[in-house]
């Protein structure tokens, strides 16, 4: 047997044939919950987290016939309303040909003493579907919910006789005891990887099962505010029974390679392109069509279907999900002679730490070869310019869907210039203190896509209204006029627009002195998570991006700036800030550049990072003095 092949499972167990619950007592020993309830934590130790887990016990078991059993036993002390609401009702729907859910315990332990056994409603419809409904009541702060459930699967995974999963050893709520059991029967083997300081398991054997067990006590909670994905800094366990990515690659080829009649694809290529266009222009044309004309979505009947839809279906309905749109774009690019493949990733919303071999992907995009290099395209991400990607895609490991076997490629890491906003203000300061300027804006990446999305299908009046509302957040009272877009509808180019802005009054007059502050469009502020002086967990930094603002303003006659030039530069591993304000001849000149680099600020470095941020915020709010010379020509101020 090659490394890419899955072990051959045994015949189905008799309990699998008869759809019976499988006993796990020899694999998972029961835990006596009475001692866990004897001494309860004080309310002040529960309220910050909303709940306190007394017990969290999980077991994943792969049997010798290639089917799986999952068991959970939980006991949690509830306090906050949102935590109580999670247990208002528990519902399960299943067909016993596929699986069976068995609720072993449903108890409510009251704070004044006593235990209430909860009623479980179980109904079966005409086609054999089972409906299980459980409502915990009465729920109020201080109650303890105890819940035990076992799910037995009677069919193998569509991939084959496999099992995979991941488990956090530390979560938001504190936990008195947390146990994880992974048991795999021969001829299968479990492959395990521990992350971020996760302890080694206790290993043992029970009959044909190899058992790994983690058992941790008194795990502290963590404040669930703005923070990186839990998999990127908390201890967790990754496990799979696949040695290589071969089975995953073969299965994805069946699901995601373009299917059906390709004649409609040929016709569309001829409709969208012209012979005199360059290859890149043709690529831009087909990408624009798939990104703009094929809306995101699927018919309800196909919402859970993992199989890619045929191109003629997608083109007939003008809708498709990420895999449909990616497969269609690959077909179009291949017809243009551009090598392209569907690639699957786990976006950074699911963490940046790669998984072991498994089907834990949540997104599809396209990798093409153009002009001697790679071109990554995400046709389902929205109105991104060709060559730009959402930051959730960037830097992730991608599995290419290739009949030749598993191949990995790294989606290019994010660069600041890929998500940039550059604003150039050229104007004047009027005698009444008004700020009037012509503004030229150039955006790439996410800033461009975020602005394009609400404006593409809007009227001119709606576009003006949106821009006014957007700018009013940082420039209260501003007027926006004469808006024009150069590349709003052209996804082959960065987004460029121009408008006129009037900010009246901009400067506050005190006799012959103006007090003013530069109207930066994106000022840095000590708000949100940065308002806290200390942290116990890492803090994510802003996405990799760049902001550039340039102001060139003509001063009124006889007016000069006082206390300039002003310069400030702040640099650390996640931030580079530069601000310079000065004068030249009769003009006020200001340049501000901010580069962010996505990452995690460790708790020990947070205070210094916050001090750096505060220094930037202070520089953004620095006041200027503009002084009019006595008897100077020009309007009095």
For tokens 């890149």, the residue is 280
Both 460 and 397 in one domain: the answer is no
181 in helix, strand or coil? strand
Asked whether residue 404 is assigned to any structural domain, the reply reads: yes
At 241, list the tokens.
């029974």
> How buried is 417 (Cβ within 10 angstroms: 0-12 exposed, 13-18 middle, 19+ buried)?
middle
31-36 long-range contacts (CB < 8 A, ≥24 apart) are 31/55, 31/57, 31/73, 31/177, 31/179, 33/75, 33/146, 36/75, 36/176, 36/177
H-type alpha helices, 442-601: 445-455, 460-472
Q: Do residues 519 and 621 share a domain?
A: yes
Hunting for tokens 């795999």 — which residue is that? 184
3-state percent breakdown (helix, strand, coil) of the chain, nearest 5: 20, 35, 45
**Sign of dihedral through CA atoms 23, 24, 25, 30?**
negative
Q: Tell me which of 84-88, 391-395, 523-527 is least confident.
A: 523-527
| Diameter of the chain measured on Cα atoms | 104
Mean pLDDT of 190-202: 97
d(CA 457, CA 149): 49
Helix (H) or strand (E) holding 320: strand 319-320
Strands 295-296 and 319-320, sheet pairing = parallel
Q: What is the pLDDT of residue 2?
A: 63
Q: Which residues contact 583 (CB under 8 A, 6 or more apart)?
A: 555, 560, 561, 564, 565, 589
What pLDDT was estimated at residue 319? Answer: 95
Q: Are residues 406 and 435 in the same domain?
A: no
* 371: Cβ contacts below 8 Å, ≥ 6 apart: 279, 280
Average pLDDT over residues 324-334: 95
Domain for residue 635, yes or no?
Answer: no
Query: What's the mean per-residue pLDDT of the chain?
Result: 92
User: What is the model's pLDDT at position 637?
Assistant: 39
Tens of pLDDT, residue by residue over 81-136, are 999 999 999 999 999 999 999 999 999 999 999 999 999 999 999 999 999 999 99
Number of domains in the chain: 3
**Residue 107 contacts residue 117 (beta carbons within 8 Å):** yes
345 burial type by CB count under 10 A (0-12 exposed, 13-18 middle, 19+ buried) = buried
Q: How far apart are CA 497 and CA 504, in angstroms?
A: 22
| pLDDT of amino acid 634 | 45
pLDDT in tens, 9-51: 988 888 999 999 999 989 999 999 999 998 999 999 999 999 9
Q: What's the CATH number where 53 sits?
A: 2.60.40.3140
Q: Are residues 91 and 65 in contact, defined by beta-carbon separation less than 8 angstroms? A: no
Residue 468 phi, psi (nearest 5): -60, -45
- Both 178 and 29 in one domain: the answer is yes
Residues 28 and 64 in one domain: yes
Of the three residues 413, 436, 459, the one that is the final residue of a domain is 413
Judge whether 27 and 43 are in contact, CB under 8 Å: no
State the Cα–Cα distance between residues 34 and 84, nearest whole angstrom.
22
Of 154-158, 241-245, 390-394, 505-509, where does mean pLDDT reach its minimum? 505-509
Check pLDDT > 90 for residue 464: no
**Same domain membership, residue 271 and residue 166:** no
Is 633 a domain residue? no
Q: Looking at 243, 261, 279, which one is the last position of a domain? A: 243
Does the pLDDT value for residue 150 go beyond 90?
A: yes
Give the separation between CA 195 and CA 131, rounded to whole angstroms: 38
Structure tokens at 133: 């409904």
Give the tens place of pLDDT for each residue, 165-194: 999 999 999 999 999 999 999 999 999 999
Q: Which letter, b or e, does each residue of 513-540 get, where b requires 16 or more Cβ atoms within 10 Å of its Cβ?
A: bbebebbbbbbbeeeeebeeeebebbbb
Residue ending a domain, among 396, 413, 430, is 413
636: in domain: no
Whether 594 is covered by a domain: the verdict is: yes
pLDDT of res. 635: 45
Q: How do residues 475-501 score in pLDDT, each as one tens digit?
A: 777 888 888 888 999 999 999 999 999
CA dihedral 39, 40, 42, 48 (to 10 degrees): 150
Q: Find how far residue 427's CA is from the centre of its chain.
A: 40
Is residue 144, in this structure, part of any structural domain at all?
Answer: yes
What percent of the chain lies above the pLDDT cut of 90? 78
Per-residue pLDDT of 249-297, as tens digits, reads: 999 999 998 777 778 888 999 999 998 899 999 999 999 999 999 999 9
Mean pLDDT lowest among 9-23, 336-350, 388-402, 536-550: 9-23
pTM over 0.85? The answer is yes
Confirm whether 637 is domain-assigned.
no
Residues 396-418, mean pLDDT to the nearest whole number: 95
Q: Which of 116-125, 330-339, 505-514, 541-550 has the lowest mean pLDDT?
A: 505-514
| Structural domain contains residue 3 | no
345: domain CATH number is 3.10.620.30
104, 196: one domain: yes
What is the average pLDDT across 448-473?
Answer: 87
What CATH number is given to the structural domain containing 621? 2.60.120.1130
Residues 414-452 pLDDT 10s = 999 999 999 999 999 988 888 999 999 999 999 999 999
Instruction: Identify whether residues 187 and 208 lie together within a single domain.
Output: yes
Q: How far apart are CA 53 and CA 589, in angstroms?
A: 58
- Six-digit token pair at 459? 């009227």
Residue with the two structure tokens 């090598």? 339
Q: Residues 389, 259: one domain?
A: yes
Residue range 555-610, pLDDT digits in tens: 988 888 888 899 999 999 999 999 999 998 889 999 999 999 999 999 999 999 99
* Cα distance between residue 195 and residue 231, in whole Å: 8
* 495 and 366 belong to one structural domain: no
Residue 120 near residue 106, CB atoms below 8 Å: yes
The whole-number pLDDT of residue 324 equals 95
Residue 66 contacts residue 242 (beta carbons within 8 Å) = no
Same domain, 480 and 520: yes
> What is the secondary structure of 173-211 as a DSSP string?
S-EEEEEEEEEEETT---EEEEETTPPPPEEEEETTEEE
Query: Which pLDDT does position 12 carry in this prediction?
Result: 85
Residue 207 CA to residue 184 CA, distance in Å, equals: 11
> Cα separation of 107 and 437, whole Å?
68
Helix (H, G, I), strand (E, B) or coil at 592: strand
For 308, the domain range is 249-413
Give Rg (Cα) of the chain. Answer: 30
Residues 66 and 194 in one domain: yes
């Amino acid at each position: 047997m090659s490394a890419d092949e899955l072990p051959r499972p045994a015949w189905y167990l008799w309990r699998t044939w008869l759809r019976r619950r499988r006993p796990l007592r020899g694999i998972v020993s029961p835990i006596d919950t009475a001692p866990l309830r004897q001494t309860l934590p004080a309310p002040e130790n529960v309220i910050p987290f909303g709940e306190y887990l007394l017990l969290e016990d999980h077991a994943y078991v792969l049997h010798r016939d290639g089917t799986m059993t999952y068991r959970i036993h939980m006991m949690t002390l509830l306090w906050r309303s949102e935590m109580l609401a999670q247990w208002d009702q528990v519902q399960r729907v299943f067909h016993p040909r596929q699986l069976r859910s068995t609720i072993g315990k449903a108890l409510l332990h009251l704070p004044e003493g006593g235990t209430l056994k909860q009623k479980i409603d179980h109904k079966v419809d005409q086609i054999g579907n089972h409906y299980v409904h459980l409502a915990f009541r009465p729920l109020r702060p201080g109650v303890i919910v105890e819940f035990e459930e076992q799910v037995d699967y009677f069919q193998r995974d569509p991939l084959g006789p496999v099992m995979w999963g991941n488990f956090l050893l530390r979560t938001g709520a504190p936990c008195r005891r947390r146990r994880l059991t992974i048991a795999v029967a021969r001829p299968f083997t479990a492959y395990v990887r521990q992350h971020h300081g996760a302890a080694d398991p206790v290993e043992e054997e029970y009959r044909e099962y190899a058992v790994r067990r983690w058992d941790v006590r008194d795990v502290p909670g963590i404040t669930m505010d703005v923070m990186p994905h839990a998999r990127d800094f908390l201890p967790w366990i990754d496990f799979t029974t696949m040695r290589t990515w071969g089975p995953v690659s073969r299965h994805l080829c069946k699901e995601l390679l373009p299917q059906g009649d390709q004649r409609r694809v040929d016709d569309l290529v001829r409709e969208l392109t012209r012979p005199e266009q360059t290859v890149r222009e043709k690529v831009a044309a087909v990408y624009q069509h798939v990104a703009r004309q094929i809306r995101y979505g699927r018919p309800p009947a196909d919402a859970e279907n993992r199989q890619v839809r045929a191109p003629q279906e997608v083109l007939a309905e003008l809708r498709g999900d990420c895999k449909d749109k990616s497969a269609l774009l690959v077909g179009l690019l291949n017809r243009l002679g551009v090598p392209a493949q569907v690639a699957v990733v786990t976006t950074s919303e699911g963490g940046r730490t790669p998984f072991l071999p498994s089907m834990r992907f949540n997104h599809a995009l396209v990798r093409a070869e153009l002009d001697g290099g790679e071109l990554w395209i995400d046709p389902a991400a929205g109105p991104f310019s060709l060559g730009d990607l959402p930051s959730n895609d960037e830097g992730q490991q991608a599995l290419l869907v290739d009949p030749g076997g598993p191949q990995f490629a790294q989606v290019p890491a994010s660069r600041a210039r890929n998500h940039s906003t550059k604003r150039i203000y050229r104007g004047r300061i009027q005698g009444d203190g008004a700020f009037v300027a012509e503004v030229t804006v150039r955006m790439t990446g996410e800033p461009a896509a975020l602005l394009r999305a609400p404006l593409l299908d809007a009227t001119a009046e709606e576009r003006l209204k949106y821009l006014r509302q957007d700018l009013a957040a940082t420039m209260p009272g501003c007027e926006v006029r004469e808006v024009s877009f150069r590349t709003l509808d052209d996804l082959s180019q960065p987004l460029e627009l121009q408008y006129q802005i009037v900010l009246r009054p901009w400067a506050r007059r005190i006799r012959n002195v103006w007090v003013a502050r530069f109207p930066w469009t994106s000022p840095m502020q000590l708000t949100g998570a940065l308002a806290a002086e200390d942290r116990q967990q890492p803090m994510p930094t802003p996405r990799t991006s760049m902001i550039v603002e340039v102001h060139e303003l003509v001063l009124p006659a006889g007016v000069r700036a006082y206390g300039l030039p002003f310069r400030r530069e702040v640099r650390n591993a996640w931030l580079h800030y530069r601000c310079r304000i000065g004068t030249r001849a009769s003009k006020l000149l200001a340049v501000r550049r901010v580069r962010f680099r996505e990452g995690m600020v460790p708790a020990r470095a947070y205070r210094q990072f916050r001090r750096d941020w505060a220094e930037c915020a202070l520089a953004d709010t620095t006041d200027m003095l503009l002084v009019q010379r006595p008897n100077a020509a020009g309007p009095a101020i």
